[in-house]
Amino acid sequence: MRDVAVIGVGMTKWGELWDKSLRNLFVESALLAIEDAGVEKIDSMVVGCMSSGLFTGQEHLASLLSDYLGRNPIPAARVESACSSGGLAFRQGFLEVASGMSDVVLVGGVEKMTDVTGCEATFALGTAADQEYEGYHGLTFPGLYAMMAVAHMDRYGTTRDQLSMVAAKNHDNGSKNPLAQYPFKVSVEAVNKSVLVADPLRILDCSPITDGAAAVILCPLEAARKAKKPAVRIAGSGHATDTIALASRADLAWLESTRLAADKALAMAGRKVEDMDLFEVHDCFTIAEIMVTEALGLVERGRGGRAVEDGLTALGGKFPVNPSGGLKAKGHPVGATGVAQVVEVVKQLRGEAGERQVKGAERGLTQNMGGTGGSALVHIFEAG
Amino acid sequence: MRDVAVIGVGMTKWGELWDKSLRNLFVESALLAIEDAGVEKIDSMVVGCMSSGLFTGQEHLASLLSDYLGRNPIPAARVESACSSGGLAFRQGFLEVASGMSDVVLVGGVEKMTDVTGCEATFALGTAADQEYEGYHGLTFPGLYAMMAVAHMDRYGTTRDQLSMVAAKNHDNGSKNPLAQYPFKVSVEAVNKSVLVADPLRILDCSPITDGAAAVILCPLEAARKAKKPAVRIAGSGHATDTIALASRADLAWLESTRLAADKALAMAGRKVEDMDLFEVHDCFTIAEIMVTEALGLVERGRGGRAVEDGLTALGGKFPVNPSGGLKAKGHPVGATGVAQVVEVVKQLRGEAGERQVKGAERGLTQNMGGTGGSALVHIFEAG
């Protein structure tokens, strides 16, 4: 396989964007990535999107978007893996270049979520769970993650305050990210007192419903070294699955697919997790980030709550987690999230992250997952 | 890139299968393919499915299916390109092996379409068209293909009888395929007299709504030569897009994406279209097959109607098209179709096609398209 690098990134302001359609959102980010990369020709594209069918009544998405980007007849593929659709798109784009099938590949992620009612959005997101064994019994994602939180609190003594500290930390970081949907700070107290959604999870434990897109340009490393901006090499890619039904898991308080994907990506890169300077991870709920830090091996099993309390995962800490603000503050347009994580890591490794820059960052990791961890994608990035 | 081969194929009887769920359908075909290949270990899988969200309320599909197949935690990706989702899944699986990322890959396609009402199915299929510019004005696929048929008849003198001859030929072939949804013959007269759907297309011009799945196993060619069954090499892969809105096309009576995908696949294989012994193509409507034979270069532009009338595309003709019965007789579970085309070509090249065997077949071509040709995938296969 050829070495592959990211040479361009693009993302616009996320939010509740009623004046923009799915195709607008995608094209805006894609054009920014193309401009950032300084390329003219695109050989193929891959789009991550979870459920444009249920959210906007539109499938056949990649062809539509290649057309609106003015790029048809290039090969264009859409991939889906629930909330890890963006991470999966990135991996497929990596394979396109690594295999030699394409030289310059656009990878984008997009989700337009606010053109439906709250009930419809909850149903659409619920399709990431097992409909026959979970959905039909009324389970939705706040409920599923609430059960994971209860299991984690019971087993390891994780506290309500520790959950809130994840939200407070990510909003601190997000307040420095002008593209974030909610770029403001929230206190631990405010999270603790916010409306209850599914005990113990409160509204400020949850990532929001978001319209947004993100895009990156990939090419062979050799060509990347002649590009406009510093090359960021994709050193490792890991992908694993688990049961999508939480009921089928051996352990509600552990994310095995994340562990396996991380092991594969790190082995491919020849690195240890401690070698990474920053982490963009899937904090769809505060408990998720706590469990991800454990599954990645940043801390021992059960110590994820303590890690945030000790400042280990803060912007100035030993392992900065979610400098972008994470899904919590930046927003979570489900198909776009995995690609936006890559956008952040590339900006950090280029030293373009402004107020939220992790000083001297040379290596970063992204972790994106679907549902309650039924799928997980981990990628490792290195400067140059 | 490594040379890649198909070493196993699996498919069950298609139809209106109310006693089987999406996951049942997929697992049955996948197990048959695994048994046919004689492999134990699967490294990764790719699933093509158009709209499990709208048809069954289930996304996150690849993880779900890898679990139900007893294969989690392997990497599992779902891809979507409307009715060419199966062809796209096949291409992604090919890339997985060609790149060296995986050695043994399961590629499956599935669609469960009959658990919704006719209106809901029509809406779900309509998401392959441009919702904002076609769907909202009431256009559905019979209407779109009817316009293509009118343009073709007007420009080239294609006749009502020639459309019917496509249906009659494919049902002749399908009557020899025990897995077909409608394994019976229909006469030209019966097609001509069947209920009008969208003038000039009648009900027997249309492929049916179908529940079904199909699966194949891929591995490096070198390993394939030691497998249980004769290896079938993937000699070429082509993928192209076009506008998904018919209104944006320069020519309603021409399938440019199919032409481009075929050119790429044939160039990769170092072959001409005349070198092929059989063709499995996307006859979602009778007019589609006529236009595909032209786009593939089997006949000159405008001569597709004459080709079927002259018997050129019959089972015993110079260019046998759709020996399996095609989408018309075999059925069209949209995400499965592209994979089922590969199943048929592999059976033909192995000499396992029974009554519908193309004698001495050594090379075959599959052509799968999305919507009215907004995407197209062409693959070339060679014995050994």
A105 near B CB under 8 A:
no
Structure tokens at A280: 């963009």
* In contact, B262 and A94? CB cutoff 8 Å: no
Beta bridge partners of A6: A218, A232
User: Residues A152, A171, A282, A332: which is the catalytic one?
Assistant: A332
As a whole number, mean pLDDT of residues A316-320 equals: 98
Angstrom distance (rounded) from CA A105 to CA A217: 6
Angstrom distance (rounded) from CA A340 to CA A368: 10
pLDDT above 90: residue A300:
yes
Using DSSP, state whether A43 is helix, strand or coil: coil
Residue A59 to residue B66, Cβ atoms within 8 A: no
Residues of B that are catalytic? 83, 332
B98 near A CB under 8 A:
yes
Work out the pLDDT band at A5, boundaries 50, 70, 90: very high
Domains A4-117+210-224 and A138-207+236-383 share a fold: yes
A77 near B CB under 8 A:
yes
Residue A127 to residue B53, Cβ atoms within 8 A: yes
pLDDT above 90: residue A160:
yes
Interface test with B, best of A43, A63, A243 (most B CBs within 10 A): A63
Work out the pLDDT band at B28, boundaries 50, 70, 90: very high
DSSP assignment of B267-321 = HHHT--GGG-SEEE---SBHHHHHHHHHHTTSS-TT-HHHHHHTTTTSTTSSS-B
Work out the pLDDT band at A384, boundaries 50, 70, 90: confident
Residue B76 to residue A375, Cβ atoms within 8 A: yes
Structure tokens at A150: 């209860």
Which residues, at least 6 apart from A291, have a Cβ–Cβ distance to it below 8 Å? Answer: A148, A152, A253, A254, A255, A258, A304
Q: Residues A7-56: pLDDT tens digits?
A: 999 999 999 999 999 999 999 999 999 999 999 999 999 999 999 999 99
Count A/B contacts: CB-CB distance under 8 Å: 204
Residues in A closer than 8 angstroms to B129, CB to CB, are: 60
Work out the pLDDT band at B384, boundaries 50, 70, 90: confident
pLDDT of residue A140: 94
Residues 262-321 of A with CB under 8 A from B: none
pLDDT of residue B26: 98
Residue B60 to residue A371, Cβ atoms within 8 A: yes
Every domain of chain A and the residues it spans: 4-117+210-224, 138-207+236-383
| Fold of the domain spanning B138-207+236-383 | Peroxisomal Thiolase; Chain A, domain 1 (3.40.47)
Residues in A closer than 8 angstroms to B239, CB to CB, are: 44, 75, 77
User: Closest-CA residue in chain B for A86?
Assistant: B77
Structure tokens at A124: 């659409």
Whether the full predicted model's pTM is greater than 0.80, yes or no, is: yes
Q: Residues A213-271: pLDDT tens digits?
A: 999 999 999 999 999 899 999 999 999 999 999 999 999 999 999 999 999 999 999 99
Structure tokens at A161: 């305050």
> Which of A54, A92, A129 lies closest to B53 in CB terms?
A54
pLDDT of residue A72: 96
Residue A81 to residue B60, Cβ atoms within 8 A: yes
Residue B81 to residue A78, Cβ atoms within 8 A: yes
Residues in A closer than 8 angstroms to B256, CB to CB, are: 73
Q: Residues A337-351: pLDDT tens digits?
A: 999 999 999 999 999
> Which of A63, A96, A100 lies closest to B244 in CB terms?
A63
ipTM of the complex: 0.97
Using DSSP, state whether A220 is helix, strand or coil: strand
Residue B244 to residue A101, Cβ atoms within 8 A: no
* Residue burial B137-167, b: 16+ Cβ < 10 Å; e: rest: eebbbbbbbbbbbbbbbeebebebebbbbbb
CA angle B325, B330, B333 (to 5 degrees): 140
Q: Residues B43-80: pLDDT tens digits?
A: 999 999 999 999 999 999 999 999 999 999 999 999 99
pLDDT above 90: residue B225:
yes
In CATH terms, the superfamily for domain A4-117+210-224 is Thiolase/Chalcone synthase (3.40.47.10)
